[in-house]
A and B are shown apart, each in its own frame.
Chain A
């Protein structure tokens, strides 16, 4: 029997010729990712269970990227980063991106990819639900808790149930006013907040193949918002070249059999989709941007692992160049690489930083998760009251960006930028 890409990766990592959905298998882990919010607890579990003298199973395979609570005076947050530093010293870990040093990167999921830790065919687990992002490069990647992660740290294996696959074929071509965010919000809106529970979400079709790597990351990133275990896109030449440019480590891509049976297949036509938003308070509350023009907004936010990559800022700049924003517009590049590109990359001769400054945006924050998840009270861009926010992030649960009273609309960077210019939810086609 033939296997999907998810099944084929898990079979190889389990040392078996084949697996099928529902099998429980012990899988060898290639990368364990953790950060400042879940790292200290994971380290606590690791030492409690394996002893004070325990060593991680493989120093090359543990990657620690602090990103959540970095630019805050909160003492416990600082203590947590200290805990990571002490652990890195104790274990001699080579892959640590320390805040306040030149190695600091920012949001773990974007940094993990940029630093070459994501390779096709590998198994990546991380103490963060958006670890599913890394399927964009043809890896099996999923989020786990501290206890599971503490176990992986000690033995390098995880017990996984092989998920059935839902395949989403997006055909046609992506029009210039549409972004990956619109595609994934459409899918989540269609299948619902738990429509992919326990399933692999495989994205395929000509529209997906035409997307660049950052846009593919946006799609896989939000698989968890439909309850998916992992999101995955078969690696192509573009993906392999992207990875080769970032790592010397050998890797062997894994491909699924196109005829492998899947639980269900959905087909979309990108040409027919329109810019959209997810209304409060779940990412599955799908609505067309043009039908929500009556919603006034108090602020706009561009950032996070979903919407804070260079592609996202380039898209926003297409709208903001030569225009002024009507509401406070907060910009948080995901990583140091993105932040640097904002200064370096010109668009028609002007740097993105200048474009945003001329548009009247707030000063650009240093890279981190910032208000994507609220955070300590002194976090940049955090909501405090009833502010209506339109955001490129991934979650609009009550209180997600700080205040429980603040309604959050999720949208693509194009739609967020267009809305920032008008002060109400706006279809970007009005400006393109």
Chain B
């Protein structure tokens, strides 16, 4: 994964405790992520489990989201181990995810699949950003910029998982480090 790029676009804002049933409801778990058409379909259902009253993450009839950046609260991805969850977000077009904290299995699945960067903010970004605001995420600088106000917020370093994320996921990392061929 290239680390020197900037991800720009509209932000979608989520509260604490978004669980995997909200990210991809169980009725769609009959789809298999490694089958290309079903991967796309999973994307079209990303965040379909949000309670009533939320803005739509994916416009009716569309397959992809207009929001490449997710800003979330604590414990993002709690609940099940379904890898369908990070995959649905990636298939929908999410390119950066910034939460205050992650549930462990979800975080691990993001790292293992290498689908996007699981970033963490020290600040409560969801009090600053509103759904639809423009933002720029600068991975190498470890920053997110709130375009309307020009304010910048720093992101936490990836820590021990950085080499896996940078290699592009578990298999790429294992090959690079000679674990597998």
A interface residue numbers (CB < 8 A to B): 24, 26, 37-38, 40-41, 44-45, 48-50, 68-69, 74, 76-77, 80, 83, 126-129, 131, 143-148, 151, 154-155, 157, 159, 161, 193-194, 197-198, 224, 227, 229, 282, 373-377, 395, 397-400, 402, 404-405
Contact = CB atoms under 8 A, between A and B. Distances in A.
Interface string B33-46: 11100100000000
A227 B82 CA distance: 15
Interface string B4-42: 000000000000010101100111011111110010000
Given A147-B109, A148-B108, A227-B103, A24 B160 contact: yes
Contacts of B19: 395, 397
B147 interface: no
Interface stretch (B56-64, B71-79, B90-98, B129-137): B71-79
Contacts of B104: 197-198, 227, 229
B170 A148 contact: yes
A151 B22 contact: no
Contacts of B179: 26, 155, 157
A77 B38 CA distance: 13
A250 B84 CA distance: 36
A21 B60 CA distance: 47
Given A374-B26, A398-B22, A129 B80 contact: yes
A144 B105 contact: yes
Given A44-B33, A80-B32, A227-B78, A145 B27 contact: no
A41 B51 contact: no
B19 to A, nearest CB: 4
Contacts of A68: 29
A294 B25 CA distance: 30
A145 B105 contact: yes
Given A74-B30, A398-B51, A194 B74 contact: yes
Contacts of B113: 145, 147
Contacts, number: 143
Interface of B: 17, 19, 21-22, 25-27, 29-35, 38, 49-52, 74-75, 78-84, 86, 101, 103-105, 108-109, 112-113, 160, 169-171, 174, 179-180
A84 B170 CA distance: 24
Contacts of B75: 193-194, 197, 227
Main secondary structure of the interface of B (DSSP, over half): loop
Nearest to B169: A147
A375 B79 contact: no
Closest 9 A/B residue pairs (Cβ)? A44-B34, A145-B109, A76-B30, A145-B83, A143-B81, A147-B112, A146-B83, A129-B81, A194-B75
Contacts of B170: 147-148, 151, 159
A146 to B, nearest CB: 4
Contact of A127 (B21, B27, B52, B81): B81
Given A395-B21, A397-B19, A398-B22, A147 B35 contact: no
Contacts of B22: 397-399
Given A143-B105, A145-B112, 5 more contacts: A126-B81, A129-B80, A151-B112, A157-B179, A399-B21
A197 B113 CA distance: 21
A49 B29 contact: no
Contacts of B171: 49, 147, 151
A37 B82 contact: yes
B84 to A, nearest CB: 7
Contact of B160 (A45, A128, A161): A161
A37 B80 CA distance: 11
Contacts of A69: 29-30
A146 B35 CA distance: 13
B111 to A, nearest CB: 9
B59 to A, nearest CB: 19
Given A74-B30, A146-B33, A151-B170, A404 B51 contact: yes
Contacts of B49: 398-399, 404
